[in-house]
Amino acid sequence: MDGVAPNAVAAVSEARQWDRLMQMAALGAIPGDGVNRACLTDLDRQARRLLLGWGTALGLAPSVDALGNLFLRHEGTEAGAAPVLTGSHMDTQPNGGRFDGIWGVIAGLEAIQALREAGISTRRPVELVAWTNEEGGRFAPGCMGSMAYAGFKPADTWDGVTDNEGLSFGEELRKHLALEADIPRRGLGVVDGPAPFAYVEAHIEQGPRLEAEGLDIGVVEGIQGSRWFVVEIAGKTDHAGTTPLSLRKDAVQDMLRAVSALNALMADPTDVLRFTVGRIEVHPNTSNSVADRVRFTIDFRHPDKDVLLTRGDAIARVVTEAMTTCTATVTERFHALPATFDPMVPAAVEAAAKAQGLSTLRMPSGAFHDAQFMVPVCPTGMLFVPCRGGVSHHPSEYSEPGQLAAGTRVLAAVLAELANR
Ligand code: HGY
Ligand code: MN
Ligand code: MN
């Protein structure tokens, strides 16, 4: 195998990859070099068609499953061998950047193209996947495509989830699949078929460590746990000028009490725990009416399962106890336990990076990824490249063309190696 990887590595084109990334970035471009490309939108479908065009021009076979996960398959020499799967997501945050998710998809395409241009035959097929709705921005939670693929949740779990316009995920998915009816259908992951041999996801770090330590490749060993909740507080609306405070059921005031109590619950002097209230909706949302309804989100993360469970399970009690005049309901929307990768893929990533003279760092991921749900399915791993200032989920998200190409060269070598095991 050593004889082939250098050819594949050499065939990776930095310029071609960067050009494709910039073409993708134009689909949903927002000021400041950002991208807003939500899942199951026309922009998402334009990006998928662009990917399909590049992939089918290479001779890769396209397919899509019941959740809209999109696949491009490079055949191996051994028909029926379990494929090596690589990929990431194409949807972005509403105020997103040009690299989160999409680089992992373009890197997978570039790596497969490099294998083919280098004339490398692989025993196993190599499949590229673009997962549906990793971000959970338009429809919460994230990772719907990979959760359904892995059998973590039934495929219709989220049909009733609605976006800001009141459109349901189920209906938007149905429309989306109808618009992609020309793409061959396939079964849904391990629900309908065998598991892949391995899964490898390339992603920007979305944190500061690789850049700060001057390192090239993150060898990801696992992903911290994430839990999402939505809190709905119900009070009573009143005139802001005439209603005594003593008679009010002010949902905003009780929200403030709840968030303050949650801050106490989530206090962590070691600064390992992550607790975010990122979205607040107020009704009627006018300056001279007392709010009768508030809805806010909780994003809670921790690498330790016990902390994630004990503190997460306490959220509903703490919110309820904080209410003085209103009532509250707390609903959990996302529950991803900390995941540790089987050593096989991290070892392959590390070996490939070192063979190319790249510096490496074994590290966890603070961000969640579709890879989290692939852990029970097959040996899984991720590779990170540095991103400027560790910034992500923002238009200024940036990685150098050379950094991204180095990541793709490692990915190409890993895919070549795993696909011939
Ligand atoms: O939120 C996350 O961790 C991921 O970037 N979607
Ligand atoms: Mn991502
Ligand atoms: Mn993201």
pLDDT tens for each residue of 164-195: 999 999 999 999 999 999 999 999 999 999 99
CA–centroid distance for 229 within its chain: 18
> Would you state the structure tokens that stand for residue 218, as one six-digit string?
């993150």
Closest atom of ligand 1 relative to the 393 alpha carbon:
5
Please provide the average confidence, as pLDDT, over all residues in the chain: 97
Supply the pLDDT for residue 148: 98
At the top level of CATH, the class of 227-336 is alpha beta
Q: pLDDT confidence of 6, banded at 50, 70, 90?
A: low
Give just the sign of the alpha carbon dihedral 317, 318, 321, 326.
negative
Q: What is the pLDDT of residues 209-231, one digit of tens each?
A: 999 999 999 999 999 999 999 99
Percent of the chain with pLDDT over 90: 98
Q: pLDDT confidence of 306, banded at 50, 70, 90?
A: very high
Give DSSP secondary structure letters for 85-127. Answer: EEEEE----TTB-SSTTHHHHHHHHHHHHHHHHTT---SS-EE
What is the best residue among 134, 297, 301 to mutate for testing ligand 1's pocket, by most ligand atoms within 8 Å of CB? 134
The answer, yes or no, to whether any atom of ligand 1 lies below 6 A from the CB of 368, is: yes
What is the best residue among 95, 206, 228, 382 to mutate for testing ligand 1's pocket, by most ligand atoms within 8 Å of CB? 206
Supply the pLDDT for residue 5: 52
The answer, yes or no, to whether any atom of ligand 1 lies below 6 A from the CB of 142, is: yes
Q: Whose CA is nearest to atom 3 of ligand 1?
A: 367
Structural domain spans, the chain:
5-224+338-418, 227-336
d(CA 300, CA 106): 30
**Section 295-302 average pLDDT:** 98
For the domain 5-224+338-418, what is the CATH code?
A: 3.40.630.10
Q: pLDDT confidence of 37, banded at 50, 70, 90?
A: very high
299 within 8 A of 228, measured Cβ to Cβ: yes
80 within 8 A of 164, measured Cβ to Cβ: no
Q: What is the pLDDT of residues 85-109, one digit of tens each?
A: 999 999 999 999 999 999 999 999 9
Supply the pLDDT for residue 243: 98
Q: pLDDT confidence of 79, banded at 50, 70, 90?
A: confident
Q: What is the pLDDT of residues 309-355, one digit of tens each?
A: 999 999 999 999 999 999 999 999 999 999 999 999 999 999 999 99
Tokens 């190696």, located at residue: 417
The answer, yes or no, to whether any atom of ligand 1 lies below 6 A from the CB of 300, is: no
Q: How far is the CA of 262 from the centre of ligand 3 (A)?
A: 24
Give DSSP secondary structure letters for 284-320. Answer: S--TTB--SEEEEEEEEEES-HHHHHHHHHHHHHHHH
Q: Whose CA is nearest to atom 6 of ligand 1?
A: 135
Q: What is the pLDDT of residues 378-408, one digit of tens each?
A: 999 999 999 999 999 999 999 999 999 999 9
Phi, psi of 236 (to 5 degrees): -150, 130
Q: Whose CA is nearest to atom 5 of ligand 1?
A: 367
Residues with Cβ–ion distance below 5 A, ligand 2 = 100-101
**Section 275-299 average pLDDT:** 98
Output the pTM of the full model.
0.96
Supply the pLDDT for residue 4: 47
The answer, yes or no, to whether any atom of ligand 1 lies below 6 A from the CB of 101, is: no
**Section 27-37 average pLDDT:** 98
Check whether 2 has a pLDDT greater than 70: no
